[in-house]
Amino acid sequence: MSIKGKAYIGGIYEHPSRKIDNKSIAELHTECAKGALDDAGLTFKDVDAYFCSGDVPGLGALSMPDYMGLTVKRQDSTNTGGSSYLFHVGHAAEAIAAGKCKVVLITCAGFGRRGTAVRERGGPDAPFEYPYGPVTVNLYAMAARRHMHEYGTTSEQLAWVKVSASHHAQHNPHAFLKKVVTVEDVLNSPMIADPLHRMDCCVVTDSGGAVLVVAPEIARQLKTPRVKLIGQGESSKGQMGGHVDLTYTGAVRSGPVAFAEAGVTPADIKYASIYDSFTITVVETIEDLGFCKKGEGGKFVSDGNLISGVGKLPFNTDGGGMCNNHPVNRGGITKIIEAVRQLRGEAHPKVQVKNCDIALAHGTGGSLGTRHSSATMIMERE
Amino acid sequence: MATAYQDRKIPVAPLNAGDAPFFEGAAAGKLMVKYCNDCKQYHHYPRPMCPFCYSTHTEWRQARGTGVVYSFSISRATGPIPYAIAYVTLDEGPTIMTNIVETDLDTIQCGQKVTVVFKPTEDPKLAVPMFKPA
Ligand SMILES: [Zn+2]
């Protein structure tokens, strides 16, 4: 059974704030849920399934429906880090296709700036890593270093990811960073963990978002333009028992599954939301999804090739995690949201891709430097 | 540019059952790695079950303590002092997370030959293997 055409994205909402005081996490999730329901023209009473990840308080998929007064018959709390929400969309489509539910609410929200992000601790690997001082940025930095060593990727090439995102962010009034930056700005920003500079890193924000996945018969009744899910794939990748290879991601598995299910190829993708925790994340992912050959990602992202209206692969037109938003250190939900805006024709006019009929969103959770998750979803405007 | 190596207080995470030989071995000056008697491969991090062939006929063996740097990063703004996190590929096969020490951190390179040293942790009974240029 395929999920192709079995589910639609019926509602989206991205919280406009990036710094938030005096709200609880549950309250912020609820505001995001309300935003997506308003977008769709639905109410909390219409929701019959709730999916969430590790950013929810309490026993997530149990606590939040109780808090919001939902009556649900399907719950999922898959936690694969920042990619979780792209996993949820696939699982939601499967549940809808199986007739288990019709309106799936997915929320993500929290306060990244308070340092309260959920951290995965105590894995079987922890004793063998913790003494060596692994933090998010130096782990991704090791992936970047090895990619440079094997393929000649340069810091200038990585910088283009940030530069391109900043060109888009200038048009987003809610973006955390709205200033257009240059390659030189990135290279001159402080070195955090060689070879990654401060501007190779995504922003840290208090924010959130929500997505509604709905059955076809519900989608036909909604006021929103119809965006159909046509493919989704997921995987994870780790240290492989010591056969460590930091030059590729789980997208080598999630991408082909999603493309095969959708019946399209990278050449058909008009817009791509690519998870951009760090600049290197984008370069490796673009290679692994087949937008260019392995090792040529650095060249591919250079010279504005990711800038809408300029390059071949417009990406992260909201400004991405690099500049716009990375709510509670989990950027997946915003990747889905901007892809849906593009397919609806609701992106900012300065960055809206013409004739955007097929779009891709990709999420990466955890760390490229140790173990991470990958999820790819492909959507079509109907 | 030069970034001098400085000793760092090494924290340890709570050990799980079966983990101790790695850390107690290091305290005794030995680099201990898990070996599978069925598929004849080493793996890391250590498990009771081989992640390659799923055999439970695994045992601790002392590695030679030599290898090459697979990748590394100098953390300059994530702690009180700069330090070099790295992956080192042991001559026995597996690539393990570690630190590169006792050298100018700015001279570290992928592919560089390194040899093991043992550094004390905050727990007096436990040490960890790190590597310096060979
Ligand atoms: Zn084996």
The reply to whether A192 and A102 lie within a common domain is: no
- How many CB atoms neighbour CB A89 within 10 A? 27
The reply to whether A300 and A350 lie within a common domain is: yes
Strand A227-237: give its sheet, edge to edge.
Answer: A75-76, A49-51, A103-111, A206-214, A8-14, A227-237, A372-381, A358-366, A271-274
Q: Name the β-bridge partners of B60.
A: B34
Percent of chain B at pLDDT > 70 equals: 100
**Residue-wise DSSP of A256-296:** HHHHHHHT--GGG-SEEEE--SBHHHHHHHHHHTTSS-TT-
pLDDT of residue A236: 97
Across chain A, mean pLDDT equals: 96
Hey, are the CB atoms on A135 and B44 less than 8 Å from each other?
no
Q: Please indicate, yes or no, if residue A3 is contained in any of the structural domains.
A: no
The reply to whether A176 and A126 lie within a common domain is: no
Decide if pLDDT at A117 tops 50.
no
* Mean pLDDT on A352-368: 97
pLDDT in tens, A170-185: 999 999 999 999 999 9
pLDDT band at A121 (very low <50, low <70, confident <90, very high): low
Measure CA A150 to chain center: 27
Hey, are the CB atoms on B96 and A191 less than 8 Å from each other?
no
pLDDT of residue A60: 84
Identity of the residue in A126, A137, A243 whose CB atom sits nearest the CB atom of B78: A137
pLDDT band at A163 (very low <50, low <70, confident <90, very high): very high
Q: What is the count of structural domains for chain A?
A: 2
Residue of A nearest to B35 (CA): A241
Decide if pLDDT at B33 tops 50.
yes
Q: Please indicate, yes or no, if residue A172 is contained in any of the structural domains.
A: yes
Q: What are the distances in angstroms from CA B95 to CA A129, A270, B21, B66, B70?
A: 12, 39, 18, 11, 8
Decide if pLDDT at A122 tops 80.
no
Q: Which backbone phi and psi does A147 adopt, to 5 degrees? A: -60, -40
Between vectors from CA B117 to CA B115 and to CA B119, what angle results, nearest 5°? 155
The reply to whether A158 and A223 lie within a common domain is: yes
The reply to whether A160 and A93 lie within a common domain is: no
pLDDT of residue B79: 78
The reply to whether A237 and A284 lie within a common domain is: yes
Hey, are the CB atoms on A131 and B16 less than 8 Å from each other?
no
Contact A187, A155 (CB under 8 A): yes
Decide if pLDDT at A131 tops 90.
yes
User: Where is average pLDDT lowest: A118-127, A302-311, B10-19?
Assistant: A118-127
Distance from the A114 Cα atom to the nearest Cα atom in chain B, whole angstroms: 17
pLDDT in tens, A261-282: 999 999 999 999 999 999 999 9
Q: Please indicate, yes or no, if residue A2 is contained in any of the structural domains.
A: no
Decide if pLDDT at A167 tops 60.
yes
User: Tokens 């912020």 appear where?
Assistant: A28
**How far is A315 from A305, CA to CA, in rounded Å?**
9
What ipTM score was computed for the predicted complex, to two decimals? 0.98
The reply to whether A145 and A124 lie within a common domain is: no
Distance from the B4 Cα atom to the nearest Cα atom in chain A, whole angstroms: 15
Model confidence pTM above 0.95: yes
Query: What range defines the domain where residue A211 resides?
Result: 136-381
* Mean pLDDT on A124-134: 95
Whether the CB of B13 is below 8 Å from some CB of chain A: the reply is yes
The reply to whether A331 and A300 lie within a common domain is: yes
Distance from the A248 Cα atom to the nearest Cα atom in chain B, whole angstroms: 14
Q: Which of B8, B85, B107 to mutate to test the interface with A (most CBs of A within 10 A)?
A: B85
The reply to whether A174 and A307 lie within a common domain is: yes
- Domain boundaries in chain B? 20-133
Among the listed residues A250, A263, A232, the one whose alpha carbon sits nearest the alpha carbon of residue A361: A232
**How far is A194 from A308, CA to CA, in rounded Å?**
30
Interchain CB contacts (distance < 8 Å): A and B: 130
Q: Which of A135, A137, A142, A248 to mutate to test the interface with B (most CBs of B within 10 A)?
A: A142
The reply to whether A347 and A375 lie within a common domain is: yes
**Residue-wise DSSP of A75-104:** EE---BTBTHHHHHHHHHHHHHHTTS-SEE
User: Where is average pLDDT lowest: A52-61, A168-177, B106-115?
Assistant: A52-61
The reply to whether A273 and A259 lie within a common domain is: yes
Total count of residues recorded for chain B: 134
Decide if pLDDT at A120 tops 50.
no
pLDDT in tens, A217-258: 999 999 899 999 999 999 999 999 999 999 999 999 999 999
Residues of A in contact with B16 (CB under 8 A): 124, 127
* Mean pLDDT on A277-296: 98
Measure CA A30 to chain center: 20
pLDDT of residue B1: 74
Instruction: Find out whether the peptide bond into A140 is cis, omega within 30 degrees of 0.
Output: no
Question: End of a domain among A130, A152, A168?
Answer: A130
Q: Return the SS3 of A211.
A: strand
Decide if pLDDT at B20 tops 90.
yes
Percent of chain A at pLDDT > 90 equals: 96
pLDDT band at A369 (very low <50, low <70, confident <90, very high): very high
Hey, are the CB atoms on B13 and A141 less than 8 Å from each other?
no
**How far is A289 from A287, CA to CA, in rounded Å?**
6
- What's the CATH code of the domain at A68? 3.40.47.10
Residue of B nearest to A123 (CA): B16
Q: What are the distances in angstroms from CA A150 to CA A31, A154, A239?
A: 46, 11, 18
The reply to whether A149 and A277 lie within a common domain is: yes
What CATH code would you report for B20-133?
A: 2.40.50.840
**How far is B123 from B40, CA to CA, in rounded Å?**
33
* Mean pLDDT on B105-132: 98
Residues of A in contact with B89 (CB under 8 A): 244
Decide if pLDDT at A62 tops 90.
yes
Q: What are the distances in angstroms from CA A307 to CA A161, A165, A283, A294, A344?
A: 9, 7, 14, 21, 19
- Show which of residues 65-94 on chain B sit within 8 Å of chain A, judged by CB atoms: 70-79, 83, 85-87, 89, 93-94
Query: Residue A321 gets which letter from DSSP?
Result: I
**How far is A46 from A37, CA to CA, in rounded Å?**
9
**Torsion from C-alpha of A243, B102, B111, A252, nearest 10 degrees:** 40
The token duo for B15 is 């050990």
Query: Residue A323 gets which letter from DSSP?
Result: I
Beta A271-274 vs A358-366: how paired, if at all?
parallel
* Mean pLDDT on A347-369: 98
Classify residue A237 as exposed, middle or buried by CB count within 10 Å of its CB (0-12, 13-18, 19+).
buried
Q: What are the distances in angstroms from CA A109 to CA A11, A33, A213, A275, B97?
A: 16, 10, 18, 17, 32
